[in-house]
Structure 1
Amino acid sequence: MEFESWVDEYSNLLFRYTLTRVSGRENAEDLVQETFIAAWRNRHNFREEVSIKNWLFTILKSRIIDHYRKCARKPDLKHAELKDQYFNESGHWAESAMPEPWNKSTDEALETAEFMSVLKACKDKLKETQNAVFTMKHLDGMETDEICKELEITSSNYWVLMHRAKLQLRECLEKNWFGILK
């Protein structure tokens, strides 16, 4: 199969997959482009017994993990601000940030394409490492120790990132989805 036909056949599929795992179209486009460049450079290593699609996805997943690792090394300066916004000195919910109960239509909402669109927009607002941790755990079904190993982070850092991601997703969903259902 010619390389150009690989790009034609698989670029949209790879892009859609990547878009659900990283923040921003530009990042997704770059990662897919890097995948095809790596495939081109290593085409002599391609084994016929593996499908081209699986080979490209293996390369892409490696690129996404590298992207997550690079983002994990960037310092997060907003921790104190986030803590003050949601919790009081004793570690309990701040009165103004107390979670609101979600109504009974929540289960139905989770299955709609519109909700998934809002969730995607909320996920895209997360810091890249928070998005990575959340996506790897809840979309890819990876175990915590596996995520820590892939991202080269400690388990305590993992839990902090997951906690912040869930807080920010909750706030965004309450504002942009559940708030409009009331």
Structure 2
Amino acid sequence: MATENHLLDPHHWVKAHADYLYAYTLSRINNEEQAKDLVQETFLAALEKADRFEGKSSERTWLTAILKNKIVDVYRKKSSGLGNIAEKKAEDEQRDFFDEDTGHWNDAYKPLPFGIEDHDPLVNKEFNQILQKCLQKLPGLWMSVFTMKHMDDAATEFICNELKVSQANFWVIIHRAKLNLRACLQKNWT
């Protein structure tokens, strides 16, 4: 097991880590029941793997790593069965939004300022709530790819391998997710 300074204390996991793990999961899954289930599954998996805890990280970091794998499994399930996106259609859509020569937004589609430069915690909380609602409107695969890339900072190659999408499809999905999120935020965040 771990060194004496880094022993696991499963009897205190719920009190010490449940709220943090639940909030972490909810920000990525946005389904309260599923978030609770994933936290419980994380604790069970940690109990089963307790003998493998080496003490190289904190207990919370170790539990969060287990939870991240559980969340990726959820993303994988959401993305299974979804067909590949027609790349030609996506290229045509991109021509509508971006100038072919410069890659910059066409004037008609330029994003409007969101006004999220405000550092007021209440404003940020409201914005995050709206962002979560907008994320939920995305197809499951798009939400999974966007969340893994921009919230979890996962590498593109890792995301493609885990969700079984090609790199070309990955970039199409990211592009479409951003366009949809932009439209949703512009509509709902004033």
TM-score (norm 1): 0.76
SS at match of 1:71: helix
User: Which position in structure 2 is the counterpart of 1:55?
Assistant: 62
Superposed CA RMSD:
3.0
Within the candidate set 134, 144, 152, 1:140 is matched to 152
CA distance in structure 2 between the partners assigned to 1:131 and 1:104 by the alignment: 21
- Alpha-carbon distance change, 101 to 125 in structure 1, aligned in 2, over 3 angstroms: closer
User: Which position in structure 1 is the counterpart of 2:11?
Assistant: 4
Letter in 2 for 1:92: D
User: Which position in structure 1 is the counterpart of 2:112?
Assistant: 102
CA distance in structure 2 between the partners assigned to 1:104 and 1:26 by the alignment: 31
- Alpha-carbon distance change, 59 to 105 in structure 1, aligned in 2, over 3 angstroms: closer
Unaligned runs of 5+ residues in structure 1 are: none
Within the candidate set 15, 19, 36, 2:26 is matched to 19
Letter in 2 for 1:141: D
Letter in 2 for 1:102: L
Within the candidate set 93, 105, 113, 2:125 is matched to 113
**CA offset digits 1:107-152 (Å, max 9, x no partner):** 3389722212211221122222211211122122233223212323
CA distance in structure 2 between the partners assigned to 1:104 and 1:136 by the alignment: 23
Contact 2:30 2:136 in 1 (8 A): yes
CA distance in structure 1 between the partners assigned to 2:169 and 2:119 by the alignment: 31
CA distance in structure 2 between the partners assigned to 1:47 and 1:104 by the alignment: 45
CA distance in structure 2 between the partners assigned to 1:25 and 1:127 by the alignment: 18
1:168 and 2:180 matched:
yes
Within the candidate set 34, 46, 69, 1:39 is matched to 46
Unaligned runs of 5+ residues in structure 2 are: 1-7, 98-107
SS at match of 1:148: helix
- TM-aligned CA deviation for residue 36 of structure 1: 1.0
Contact 1:22 1:131 in 2 (8 A): no
User: Which position in structure 2 is the counterpart of 1:125?
Assistant: 137
- Alpha-carbon distance change, 72 to 48 in structure 1, aligned in 2, over 3 angstroms: same
